[in-house]
Amino acid sequence: MPNPSYAPQSRAYPLIEAALARIATHPETARDPETLARKLGLTPAGLQAAVRNWSGAAPERFFSLFAPGGLARRLIPPMGPRSRGRAAAPYPAVRLRVMAKTPPGEPLRHGVHETPFGFCLVGVLGEAVCWLSFREKSDLGRARRELLDFWRGVPALADEATTARWIPEIFDLPCGRPGAEIPVAVRGTPFQIAVWKALLTLPPGSVCTYGEIARAAGRPGAARAVGNAVAANPVSFLIPCHRVVPRGGGFGNYGGGRLRKRALLAWEAARFPAP
């Protein structure tokens, strides 16, 4: 499989965040690309090209998530008895491996890579992705410390050549092979694992409330505990904690930053119809 470069999209990502920051404070600009472009110091054609090149969609479609009712139209419960007829989108497909013990002598390989959402730190254990966190370039040192603390006791090795091969599998939709799965290794408490499994039932292009995830994890009313489990998710994007939003409205918090959460959701919404 060719290994595409995400450097152009990574360099363009700050502009996307700037646009989303403007929409966060002036929601009406989500429906007014010309005004949004002017406020960003761009021509309408320049904004059109930048958003299309980054997201693959026209601004009107990409920013539609932030128009009134855009997020609400994508709210669904996790898959369960009420939603057996709903099939999860085929990409990215994740095979979760819960590890009570780590294989003896198996090194934790990690590397930093450019993605459509800026820089990310990826960890790989054997043949499974065991860490993914988005960070600003200046904050990657803290991300490494978090990775090593989570997988404490596992020998670690910087190895970008190994972790690089996973980047197109994760982020390049055309490279997603039908029926292919991305193995993901985690360890956590039984409740954390139940929450992460519930997150995996949410297809791209959808969102769900913390309360619905709590019910799916067998702890109705434990929305706050779900929030803690979501925050502890070691493999962002693949275990899609960005798809959980507050019941009262808005997008909520995200370990990689609130604007990045909006970018992730809009990127998915531009590719996948509302469930």
* Rounded CA separation 158/233 (Å): 22
249: left (phi over 0), alpha (psi -120 to 50) or beta: left
Residue 98 and residue 200 in contact, taking contact as beta carbons nearer than 8 Å? no
For tokens 């152009």, the residue is: 8
The torsion angle over the Cα atoms of residues 195, 240, 134 and 37, rounded to 10 degrees, is -140
How is 179-221 classified by DSSP, letter by letter?
Answer: T--EEEEE---HHHHHHHHHHTTS-TT-BEEHHHHHHHTT-TT
Q: Is 120 a catalytic residue?
A: no
145's tokens: 């410390």
**Separation between Cα atoms, residue 269 and residue 179, nearest integer Å:** 22
Catalytic residue among 120, 130, 208, 241: 241
- The catalytic residues are 241
